[in-house]
Amino acid sequence: MSSKITLPDEAWKTLVLTAERDGVYLEGGILKILDPGESESNITYLTSATSADKERRANRLQVTKQVQKQNRELEQSKAEIEQQNAELLQAKNEIEKKSGQLQEALEAAEKARESAEGARRDAENDLDYMQKRTQFELMGRIVRVSLFVVVGVGTITTGMYAMALFGPETNAADTTLLANTWSNMFGILLTNSFSIIGTIMGVKYATEGRSGGNQQ
Amino acid sequence: MIRSILLVDDESLFHLVFEDACSLLDIALNLRAIDSANKAEELFKEWHRDPSDRPECVFVDLNLIGSSFDGIELVRRINKVYGNGVVIGIISSSSDQMEIDKAKQVGAQFWIVKSDDIEPRLEAFRDKYDHYKDRTAPFEVYA
């Protein structure tokens, strides 16, 4: 503990006068080390000054504690808000991530749909091709049989005519009849042959034209 | 009454609380408050050369934001390097037993837990101060 300090009487008088006139007192640590001596007025002054100083400090202490408490609450609120912000940010990131995954899934589904569509088109094309092929094979068979019939009939008729012309028992009347018959028959066969070929070509071109239109 | 106290705490508002509480409780005649362990170390370097202004008692906060080391390290340095006999302890809002043990190991003489109602703890500390000064009081936690 520091030793007390004493002031000259004049200084005490000035202090007491200032306190009485203006209500102004010394304050702070100096009050703890002032020795008022025996003077009643000095002791009263020091008691009043110390009391006022303590009251001010007590008030300031309460205010400071209140501010300190509010600061702590603000800091706590700030921390909570920051945590909530962090959680919101995390949720946002998760939503964005899920959204990305959903987008990828949608794109994959779209690709799968396109792939299925392509497969369906391929299948349709294959079916169309098979149908056409079957049609062409059928037409080929018809053409072959027709040509065999035409060629067979022509060959048989020609053979019979040749036998009639160059055979051992030839008769002019028979030959004339056969010649006319052969000529008519051959004309009819040729006409029918061209008719068949023309029909086949017409069917072929018509089919190609229709399939081309479908593809468009 | 303690002639002079040094408070090392990074919270400026606590400087005011501590100063007013010490004044109201007639704990200290002179109080100096600083906010960094580095500043405290610089001061103790000077007081190591010229100890005339060295404080009698030092209160150190545990966590000193903005300092390059914490309160326990400051206590260790003051005790081992510069202090040579100052009464020194921790004043912190923490009451972590591990930290308290560390403080004790580096030579802290007391641990005061900061709270809104700090005056009774400072009063209890004041009553035992003479024993801390002559190194007869055991380490104590004021919680």
Q: What is chain B's Cα-based Rg?
A: 14
- Pick the closest to residue B4 from B43, B55, B53, B50 (CA basis): B55
In chain B, where the domains are located: 2-142
ipTM: 0.81
Phi/psi-derived region of residue A23, left when phi > 0, alpha when psi is between -120 and 50, beta in every other case: left
Average pLDDT over chain B, rounded to an integer: 93
Residues of A within 8 A of B93 (CB-CB) are: none
Q: Is the CB of B24 less than 8 angstroms away from the CB of A2?
A: no
Cβ(A153)–Cβ(A189) below 8 Å: yes
Q: Is the CB of B29 less than 8 angstroms away from the CB of A61?
A: no
Q: In a mutagenesis test of the A interface, which of B9, B11, B14, B20 is the best target, namely the one with the most A β-carbons within 10 Å?
A: B20
pLDDT tens digits along A95-109: 999 999 999 999 999
- d(CA B88, CA B60) in angstroms, rounded, equals 8
A5 at interface of B, judged by CB pairs closer than 8 A:
no
A69 at interface of B, judged by CB pairs closer than 8 A:
yes
Segment holding A40, helix H or strand E: helix A40-166
Cβ(A164)–Cβ(A170) below 8 Å: yes
- Is a pLDDT exceeding 80 seen at residue B1? yes
- The CA angle B127-B105-B4, to the nearest 5 degrees, is 40
**CATH top-level class for B2-142?**
alpha beta
* pLDDT confidence of residue A208: 67
Q: Which long-range contacts (CB under 8 A, 24 or more apart) does B109-113 make?
A: B109/B135, B109/B137, B109/B139, B110/B137, B110/B139, B110/B140, B110/B141, B110/B142, B111/B139, B111/B140, B111/B141, B111/B142, B112/B59, B112/B142, B113/B141, B113/B142, B113/B143
Tell me the mean pLDDT in the region B4-19.
94
- d(CA B96, CA B110) in angstroms, rounded, equals 14
What distance, in Å, lies between the first and last C-alpha atoms of chain B? 22
The Cα-based distances of B81 to B49, B73, B75 in angstroms read 12, 11, 10
Lowest mean pLDDT among A90-94, A130-134, B92-96: A130-134
Give the 3-state secondary structure of residue A35.
strand
- Is a pLDDT exceeding 70 seen at residue A158? yes
Res. A216 pLDDT band, cuts 50 70 90: very low
pLDDT tens digits along B71-119: 999 999 999 888 678 999 999 999 999 999 999 999 999 999 998 889 9
CB hemisphere CA count around A194 (13 angstroms): 5
Residues of A within 8 A of B16 (CB-CB) are: 60-61, 64
pLDDT tens digits along A107-117: 999 999 999 99
Lowest mean pLDDT among A189-203, B8-22, B63-77, B116-130: A189-203
Q: How many Cβ atoms from other residues are within 10 Å of residue A68's Cβ? A: 17
Segment holding A9, helix H or strand E: helix A9-22
> Nearest Cβ partner of A60 from B1, B11, B16?
B16
Query: What distance in Å separates residue A16's CA from the closest CA in chain B?
Result: 23
With tokens 């028992």, the residue in question is: A169
Lowest mean pLDDT among A55-64, A202-211, B4-13, B128-137: A202-211
CB hemisphere CA count around A209 (13 angstroms): 6
The Cα-based distances of A16 to A5, A36, A44 in angstroms read 17, 12, 9
Lowest mean pLDDT among A105-119, A186-200, B43-57: A186-200
Q: Taking the model in full, what pTM does it have?
A: 0.65
* pLDDT confidence of residue A215: 44
Residue type, B86: V
Q: Is the CB of B16 less than 8 angstroms away from the CB of A57?
A: no
- Is a pLDDT exceeding 90 seen at residue A156? no
